[in-house]
Amino acid sequence: MTRYRLLQIVLVVLVLAYPLVVAGSPVWARLGALVLLAAIGASAWNIVGGYAGQVSVGHSVFFGIGAYSAVVTYTYLGLPPIAGAPIGMALSVLVAAVIGVPTLKLSGHYFSMATIAVAELVRVLSSTSEFLGGAQGLGGPPVPRGVLDLSFISATPYYYIFLAVLAGLLWLTHMIERGRMGFYLRAIKDSERAARSLGVSAGRYKLYAYMLSAAFTALAGSLYLTMFGFVDPESGFGILISVKMVVMAALGGAGQLFGPLVGALILVPLEELSNSYLGGQGAGLTFVVYGAIIVIIARFLPSGLLSLFQRRRQVTSRASKTVDGHAD
């Protein structure tokens, strides 16, 4: 137990000190920030996709709403982009209710397909909207006007902002996981019919999870905008944004607190390093490897990487139970 505690402390110190450790290299600092940003998006998805088992493949709707809210706040009101984050979150919750009420009644693949269609609808509409800058998209402040614009050259400030948000989100998820709602969501995931028959209002809890997940996905979108300073229909509402959230969470372990973070830790470096080291002709090859790794993990660890450790823990706990049994 003490060894476990020690490991935890070392990990926390390592995470906190990471930008200082790699201070010499902007590439690595940026990579750290990108991993955390992706982990925020995937962890937000995890609430509804992992815990409640409602596999949305259209979360880019909320990501895009967050990103566009931030940039619109800057473009039309002249405020710092991050001021748009609460607006984006509120709007996302509203949109989630509108999308969720009809689509959450659908089961399994049909829900996934419906969310894809809604996201595509929003993407096409956004590219025809002049208010949102059409297919060209909109840009944030070209030159930072103050600290509140959150526009930094170094990636280190982003790293700590994203880390704080991710920590908050994971804490909240942990609280849900342990609370009544967590039990309800797991029950719904295992068997919605059984959960209903035991008096869980499944529809309502699925919707709560969906709205909460939407709010944090929007926050990830707003944060994305502060770092990249630009959004267009493809980078905001594109299907790849949605799929990446699903894939990261599934790779690490969906429905587990740290699953999405583990997924992001693997996929983001793979993608970024391949982009920076193998531009041009070689680009295809690295994504071939990326795809192959995903296939292999899906084939041999269908419940995600974290299931490796979980299996071991289950074995040990079963072993300790038998010991207890013998003691009785």
Partner 1 sequence: MSMTLVQVVVSGLLLGAVYALFSSGLTLIWGMMNVVNFAHGDFVMLGMYTAVMIWTALGGGPWASVPAAAMLIATLGIASYFLLVRHIMRGPMLAQILGTFGLALFLRYGALWTFGANFKTLPDDLVGHSFILAGIRFEGARVLAGVVGLAVTLALHLLLTRTAIGSRMLAVSEDATAAQLMGIRPQRMQALAWGMAGAATGIAGALIATFFYTSPTVGETLAIVAFVTVSFGGFGSVLGALVAGLIIGVVESLSAYLIGPVYKDVIVYILFVLVLWFRPQGLMGKA
Using CB under 8 A, list all residues that contact partner 1. Answer: 49, 55, 57, 102-103, 105-110, 112-114, 116-118, 120-121, 124-125, 127-128, 239-240, 243, 246-247, 249-251, 254, 281, 283-288, 290-299, 302-303
Kindly tell me the sign of the dihedral angle through the C-alpha atoms of 87, 33, 158, 235.
negative
Q: How far is CA 59 from the centre of its chain?
A: 9
State which residue, 14 or 117, has the beta carbon closest to partner 1.
117
In the complex with partner 1, which residue's Cβ is closer, 26 or 108? 108
The CB density around residue 101, as the number of other CB atoms within 10 Å, is 12
Smallest distance, partner 1 to C-beta of residue 288, A:
5
To partner 1, the closest distance from the beta carbon of 4 in angstroms equals: 28
Least separation in angstroms between residue 33's CB and partner 1 is 24
Minimum distance from residue 12 beta carbon to partner 1 (Å): 29
Taking alpha carbons only, the member of 17, 124, 154, 141 closest to residue 70 is 141
* Closest distance to partner 1 from the beta carbon of 280 (Å): 10
| Tokens representing residue 177 in the block | 């996981």
Q: Which residues pair with 230 in a beta bridge?
A: 139
CB of 48 to partner 1, least distance (A): 13
Tokens (6 digits) for 80: 């710092």
Alpha helices (H) along 229-258: 233-237, 239-252
Spatial contact of 98 and 114, defined as CB atoms under 8 Å apart? no
DSSP 148: G
DSSP calls for 73-116: HHHHH---GGGHHHHHHHHHHHHHHHHHHHHTTS-THHHHHHHH
Report the C-alpha gap between 291 and 287 in whole angstroms. Answer: 6
Q: Which is nearer to partner 1, 32 or 137 (CB)?
A: 137
Backbone φ and ψ of 187, nearest 5°: -65, -45
Whole-number minimum distance, CB 315 to partner 1, in Å? 20
**Whether 59 contacts 238, CB under 8 Å:** no
Residue whose CB is less far from partner 1, 100 or 140: 100
DSSP annotation of 48 reads I
**26 vs 284 by CB, closer to partner 1:** 284
